[in-house]
Amino acid sequence: MKILGISAYYHDAAICLIEDGKIIFAAQEERYSRIKNDAQFPILALKDCLKATNTNLNELEAIVYYEKPFLKLERILKTYLNAAPKGLSSFIQAMHVWTKEKLFIKQNIFDELQKLDDSFQKKNIHLLFTEHHLSHAASAFYPSPFEEAAILTIDGVGEYATTSLSFGNGNKINTLREIHFPHSIGLLYSAITYFLGFKVNSDEYKVMGLAAYGNHHDIETKKFIATIEKELIQLNIDGSYQLNKKHFSYTYGLTMLNDKDWHQLFNIEKRKPDAEITQSHCNLAYAFQKVTEKAVINLCVEIKKLTNSDNLCLAGGVALNSVINGIIKDKSIFKNIFIQPASGDAGGALGSALAIYYEYYNKDRNIDQADSMQNSLLGNSFSEDEINAIKLLHNNFHYCEHEDELCKKTAQLIADGKVIGWFQGKMEFGPRALGNRSILADARNENMQLHLNLKIKNRESFRPFAPAVLEEDAHNYFELEGTSPYMLQVHKVKGTHLKKLPENYASLSLKDKLYTVKSSIPAVTHVDMSARIQTVNKEQHPLFYNLISKFKMITGESLIINTSFNVKDEPIVCTPIDAYNCFIKTGMDILVIGKYIFYK
């Protein structure tokens, strides 16, 4: 039985194909269209999926859309009616989009499928819809290794729900409690993303990275936290919360908030995109991160009481906040945690397909204790012909007969200070590059973070980089118990690797903190002595494991920098020609595709 899940028309459009409950392909449209967070119907991703899996549309048992459009429209109409007469221009803009595409999603889906295959017969296939938060919950619980688990879903908003507390058992998910729009932790975090001059629904992770530069001892920072908890959000002991609607305009306006209102609240003007980042901006990011952490931990404590489960599954956009995930892990509220690596709306395509398979068709659940997400390596691979096309463009290359030779040569290049574009196997599903569409470099190099940010990625200098570390050696470097295969947990670097900091370190500027060498692995040590860790397992990721092992043989160190193969505001590369173009237009030194090493 094959089921196709689709997310589209909001942001992060994606498809997922499952067969008898197993994920056989999943990919985001942005990778193919080259439009960041592309929301359009994922026709290119679907086309590649059908080709890669040798599937005909008429073979499908069901097609599932990841939310219920009419329920969402009902919420939107009620929201505007409650806000009237405010919000007319926003309402007109929203209704234009709805009448153009979202109101007719069922027909739009069938039309797009028939464009792809004119033999497609819609009468033979069920077109089904799941609720948004069920799609998220299903995306986390069903691929998890747990027979039963508490499931926490936190995002901006689905139809009505913004936060869901659920319990999964066997092949069923039951919703226990919900918090509804306009009260939303996700939208609170999006509001500060907007106020700090970043892009909503795209750059929230930048706020998380910037928060580490905040000075938690500053009077200003403490005042920010007090203002947030007094004026913006009320946190309750049972995990529930309410936002103060008078300080937000997203229910009726075209922006998240009123700039002048927040200027008065925090005595800071809204930052313009690309403007200088001040210490006050850092302190404000820190304050919002801390309040968000408190809200999520309250929810974890409450869902533990409700379910008494040892296991927790996390999904929704807020589950991509790896700092919070590390705190949940460290607090040991639950013995075991599984976080869906594609926790945003793209993962809704996966969750919707799984929800229908297990709940609508009532299929028995086969639990994969190893990893049913298959290290999230669920997308397309590449052909020899695609590499040959690059060889015609670029004749300065070396072919390695064996993988061991490839890994040894590449590891030596990394040790020599080279920046490597690494393109192997299947593409990752989700926002993280996990060793197949990656840029790799030496974490020991104290200049490498700035070099990668400014000369390769063309992005903000404050952004940290993640280490990919051999699973069995992770405890030698980080305060981490267990594993973190999806780069979704932040933990402290061990004291044995830390350098002595200047006595005035806390009061240094952002720039000075950035330039201070903080550890023996400075390129992956953030300013608060933490790192977003990816543990690499030999069985799940053999080639990447082999590469890092060869680096260990050469240098004695079991970790390297792993960052996504892209530049600022572009999606991760999808094809070999995407990789080659990125290689040529940046300061990258080496491109490795398959067994070929291309030199500049």
Give 229-240 pLDDT, tens digit per residue: 999 999 999 999
Cα 425 to the center of its chain, rounded Å: 20
pLDDT in tens, 350-384: 999 999 999 999 999 989 888 999 999 999 999 99
pLDDT in tens, 96-155: 778 777 778 999 999 999 999 888 988 788 999 999 999 999 999 999 999 999 999 999
Helix 204-211 to helix 279-307 angle, to the nearest 10 degrees?
Answer: 100
Question: Which amino acid would we find at residue 421?
Answer: G
pLDDT of residue 370: 85
Residue 569: which residues within 8 A CB-CB, separation 6 or more? 36
Counting residues of the chain whose pLDDT is more than 70, the rounded percentage is: 100
pLDDT in tens, 449-468: 999 999 999 999 999 999 99
pLDDT of residue 576: 97
pLDDT in tens, 405-435: 999 999 999 999 999 999 999 999 999 999 9
Q: Are strands 311-315 and 148-154 parallel, antiparallel or unpaired?
A: parallel
Q: Which whole number is the average pLDDT over 575-580?
A: 98
The helix/strand/coil state of 314 is strand
pLDDT of residue 325: 98
Residue 586: which residues within 8 A CB-CB, separation 6 or more? 455, 456, 457, 458, 567
Contact 516, 500 (CB under 8 A): no
Tell me the residue length of the chain.
600
Token digits of residue 238? 């049972």
Distance CA 303, CA 297 (A): 10
pLDDT of residue 356: 98
pLDDT in tens, 531-564: 999 999 999 999 999 999 999 999 999 999 999 9
Sign of the C-alpha dihedral computed for residues 195, 198, 201 and 205 taken in this order? negative
The pTM for the full model equals 0.96
pLDDT of residue 102: 75
pLDDT band at 21 (very low <50, low <70, confident <90, very high): very high
User: Would you say residue 569 has pLDDT above 80?
Assistant: yes
pLDDT of residue 276: 95
User: Would you say residue 436 has pLDDT above 90?
Assistant: yes
pLDDT in tens, 382-391: 999 999 999 9
pLDDT in tens, 464-516: 999 999 999 999 999 999 999 999 999 999 999 999 999 999 889 999 999 99
Rg (CA), the chain: 24
Q: Which whole number is the average pLDDT over 12-29?
A: 98
Helix 185-195 to helix 279-307 angle, to the nearest 10 degrees?
Answer: 170
pLDDT of residue 118: 86
User: Would you say residue 518 has pLDDT above 90?
Assistant: yes
Distance CA 489, CA 35 (A): 27
Determine which helix (DSSP H) or strand (DSSP E) holds 205, and give its type and residue range. helix 204-211
Counting residues of the chain whose pLDDT is more than 90, the rounded percentage is: 91
User: Would you say residue 82 has pLDDT above 90?
Assistant: no
pLDDT band at 92 (very low <50, low <70, confident <90, very high): confident
pLDDT of residue 84: 83
